[in-house]
Amino acid sequence: MSGDWIPTRDECLDMLTAENFPEIRIDDRILQPMKRETIEHSIEVETLAMKYGRDIKRLGWTINLGVLDAGALLHDIGKRLIDKDRPGSDGYGAHNDLGRRLLEARGVHPDVIHVVESHSAMPAEWIRKLRKVDIYNITLEDRDYMPRTLEAEVVCYVDKLTDGSKYVTLAEWMAEHNRDAPGSRKVRSKEYFESFQRDFMIALHEKFMIMTEVPYEEYVKYEKSGMHQTHGRHKRTL
């Protein structure tokens, strides 16, 4: 179903804001306007993901920055198909799958679709466990939704550390997820965190620090602290 279209930045922003794509129907779903906060979040994820992508590429690794940019901007596009008033609410991870189906129907390149569907990093084993818990209402297919490409890993990593339009540190993210929060539609369980999420994020954190030679904190310090009036970007030794 998917095609060879890697949407430009302008085309991605149009997809986030356009009122309707009349040719597209996914089940009986009606395209919802994207929340302003979700659009802002997507642009923050794009900005940081592209800082990583630019440095990764410059240091000689193979990464497609067109795929990265489109994937980062569109990672939450599936939320446009989630209607809170629709009977039978949508469960955990639904927007990953809806994003994939929407972009497949539009003829978007599979590499971009992979970034979108895998950005939450959900292994098959955990999807099976969550399926048994009513509150998560899992509608995902019985398979991994895990990032398998560098572009997808960058977006997954950056998205988890972008809370709304604010960047958080790995330690802050961990503090937020290392707890049981019953009743939450997001998976907040110590078991999930300890057996999977934590190690996965630490692995990405270390991988990107090695690849870029710049720690995460350097990438986000001006955005976080307003220190930028007096301090410059981290100067590399290379």
The binding site for another protein (CB under 8 A) comprises 8-10, 13, 46-47, 50-51, 53-55, 57-58, 65-66, 68-70, 222, 226, 228-229, 231-233, 235
Residue tagged 């977006």 (tokens): 155
Which residue number, 21 or 222, has a Cβ lying nearer to another protein? Answer: 222
Gap between the Cα atoms of 85 and 95, Å rounded: 16
Which residue number, 65 or 174, has a Cβ lying nearer to another protein? Answer: 65
Nearest approach, Cβ of 111 to another protein (angstroms)? Answer: 13
Which residue number, 20 or 229, has a Cβ lying nearer to another protein? Answer: 229
Nearest approach, Cβ of 20 to another protein (angstroms)? Answer: 20
Residue tagged 């986030």 (tokens): 16
Q: Give the end-to-end CA distance of the chain in Å, rounded to a whole number.
A: 44
Which residue number, 190 or 233, has a Cβ lying nearer to another protein? Answer: 233
User: What residues pair up with 145 in beta bridges, in sequence order?
Assistant: 122
Nearest approach, Cβ of 25 to another protein (angstroms)? Answer: 28
Count other C-beta atoms under 10 Å from residue 101's C-beta.
18
Which residue number, 55 or 97, has a Cβ lying nearer to another protein? Answer: 55
Gap between the Cα atoms of 229 and 116, Å rounded: 35
Q: Which is nearest to 29 in space by CA: 38, 20, 39?
A: 20
Nearest approach, Cβ of 91 to another protein (angstroms)? Answer: 33
User: What residues pair up with 166 in beta bridges, in sequence order?
Assistant: 163
Nearest approach, Cβ of 200 to another protein (angstroms)? Answer: 26
Which residue number, 126 or 219, has a Cβ lying nearer to another protein? Answer: 219
Nearest approach, Cβ of 40 to another protein (angstroms)? Answer: 9
Q: Which is nearest to 146 in space by CA: 167, 164, 119?
A: 119
Q: Which two tokens stand for residue 177?
A: 């997820």
For 135, residues 6+ apart whose C-beta sits below 8 A from its C-beta are 183, 185
Sign of CA dihedral 75, 76, 82, 88: positive
